[in-house]
């Protein structure tokens, strides 16, 4: 039997002033109660109780130990109740990093709803497309787009994030619709300069064969929003994550090109968080909230 349980038995004996009374209260036998008191006295190397056939009373040392032990058990009980309360009424800090454009378009609303539902959680939200190291930068939750490398972090998939070739009806009317990837070489394909990758399109066909096409275009920018706007204005073809173009495709402002080919490698949207056997309830609730929100993204609904 652990030490805290023995201390609880001792407190019960002093309160009841008898082994039998403590035994009834605790659902134990009197002999078991007596044995645990003996073990506690042996551990402490002091006599805690004076025993007679009719009465049990604390010694001077036992009385001091009783007052401190009773308070300690009350503190532990209050701590346990507070922890259980946190499960239904979470509180405390939560640092979150979201990709800027995805966050602005699809996650700011859900974050605001979470803040309203859990007003005692102190949310600190950053919207940025730069690479975030959750451990070294102190973030609790990070949303990322792409193919994840091996990591010690916990992950949950939020949604797919296909990169799509899109152009306006005006561009297609003036320049024609490419029917196979090789025809992209003759088109104005807008370039994303936010990374050091070569301006090309890597794809997989219906047979599972992977290929690549070198590209050229009249506009380069590190802004996905600008690429999307340029495509809507008919300047060229854009290759963008689905969350930039989903609403424009639905409204007919953009058209999906080469739908039988997949941009390769495929990307997904994930939420990452630090591993911990006992996750704070505020973190678990926020991650669950993100997962539920992502299930309602327009391209996930089908």
Predicted local confidence at residue 292, as pLDDT: 95
| Domain match, 52 and 168 both | no
Report the CATH number at residue 101. 3.40.190.10
Q: Which of 46, 40, 2, 37 is nearest to 16 (CA)?
A: 37
Q: Which of 290, 259, 279 is nearest to 179 (CA)?
A: 259
147: which residues sit within 8 A by CB, 6+ positions away? Answer: 265, 266, 267, 268
Dihedral sign, CA of 247, 252, 257, 259? Answer: positive
Final residue of a structural domain among 88, 107, 128: 88
| Domain match, 145 and 186 both | no
Q: Which two tokens stand for residue 82?
A: 């507070």
Reply yes or no on whether the pLDDT at 194 is more than 90: no
| Domain match, 149 and 167 both | no
Confidence of residue 216 (pLDDT cuts 50, 70, 90): very high
Q: Which domain holds residue 213?
A: 163-263
58 forms beta bridges with 49
Reply yes or no on whether the pLDDT at 51 is more than 80: yes
> In the predicted model, what is the mean pLDDT of the chain?
91
| Domain match, 293 and 253 both | no
Using CA atoms, how far apart are residues 139 and 278, in angstroms rounded to an integer? 17
Using CA atoms, how far apart are residues 271 and 64, in angstroms rounded to an integer? 52
Reply yes or no on whether the pLDDT at 302 is more than 70: no
Please state the separation of Cα 1 from the chain's center in Å.
Answer: 38
| Domain match, 110 and 232 both | no
Predicted local confidence at residue 296, as pLDDT: 94
Confidence of residue 256 (pLDDT cuts 50, 70, 90): very high
Question: For tokens 């996650």, what's the residue?
Answer: 107
| Domain match, 154 and 279 both | yes
For the question of whether the overall pTM of this predicted structure is more than 0.75, the answer is no
Tell me the percentage of the chain whose pLDDT exceeds 90.
Answer: 70
| Domain match, 178 and 30 both | no
Cβ contacts of 127-135, under 8 Å, gap ≥ 24: 127/97, 127/98, 127/99, 127/100, 127/103, 128/97, 128/99, 128/100, 129/99, 129/100, 129/101, 129/194, 132/97, 134/97, 134/272, 134/273, 134/274, 135/274
Reply yes or no on whether the pLDDT at 260 is more than 70: yes
Reply yes or no on whether the pLDDT at 74 is more than 90: no
Lowest mean pLDDT among 140-149, 166-175, 186-195: 140-149
Compare 43 and 165 and report the one with higher pLDDT: 165
Cβ contacts of 290-293, under 8 Å, gap ≥ 24: 290/107, 290/110, 290/141, 290/143, 290/158, 291/156, 291/158, 293/106, 293/107, 293/110
| Domain match, 248 and 205 both | yes
Predicted local confidence at residue 85, as pLDDT: 66
| Domain match, 57 and 75 both | yes
Predicted local confidence at residue 277, as pLDDT: 66
| Domain match, 192 and 209 both | yes
| Domain match, 250 and 290 both | no
Confidence of residue 129 (pLDDT cuts 50, 70, 90): confident
Report the CATH number at residue 226. 3.40.190.290
Number of domains comprising the chain: 3
Can you say whether residue 17 is alpha, beta or left, with left for phi > 0 and alpha for psi between -120 and 50 degrees?
left
Report the CATH number at residue 67. 1.10.10.10
Mean pLDDT of 262-274: 93
Reply yes or no on whether the pLDDT at 53 is more than 70: no
Reply yes or no on whether the pLDDT at 84 is more than 90: no
């Amino acid at each position: 039997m652990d030490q805290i349980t023995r201390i609880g038995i001792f407190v019960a004996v002093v309160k009841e002033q008898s082994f039998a009374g403590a035994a009834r209260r605790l659902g134990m036998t009197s002999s078991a109660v007596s044995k645990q008191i003996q073990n506690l006295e042996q551990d402490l190397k002091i006599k805690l109780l004076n025993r007679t056939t009719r009465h049990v009373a604390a010694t001077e040392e036992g009385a001091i130990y009783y007052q401190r032990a009773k308070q300690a058990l009350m503190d532990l009980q209050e701590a346990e109740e507070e922890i259980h309360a946190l499960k239904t009424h979470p509180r405390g800090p939560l640092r979150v990093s979201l990709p800027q454009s995805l966050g602005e378009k699809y996650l700011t609303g859900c974050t605001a709803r979470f803040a309203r539902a859990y007003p005692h959680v102190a949310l600190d939200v950053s919207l940025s497309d730069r690479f975030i190291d959750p451990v070294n930068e102190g973030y609790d939750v990070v949303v990322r787009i792409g193919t994840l490398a091996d990591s010690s972090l916990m992950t949950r998939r939020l949604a797919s994030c296909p990169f799509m070739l899109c152009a306006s009806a005006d561009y297609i009317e003036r320049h024609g619709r490419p029917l196979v990837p090789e025809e992209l070489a003759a088109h104005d394909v807008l370039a994303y300069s936010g990374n050091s990758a070569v301006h090309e399109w890597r794809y997989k066909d219906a047979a599972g064969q992977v290929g690549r096409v070198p590209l050229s275009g009249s506009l380069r920018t590190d802004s996905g929003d600008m690429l999307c706007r340029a495509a809507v204005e008919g300047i060229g073809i854009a290759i963008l994550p689905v969350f930039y173009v989903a609403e424009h495709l639905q409204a007919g402002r953009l058209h999906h090109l080469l739908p039988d080919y997949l941009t390769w490698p495929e990307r997904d949207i994930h939420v990452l968080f630090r591993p911990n056997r006992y996750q704070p309830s505020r973190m678990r609730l926020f991650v669950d909230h993100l997962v539920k929100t992502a299930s309602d993204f327009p391209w996930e609904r089908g």
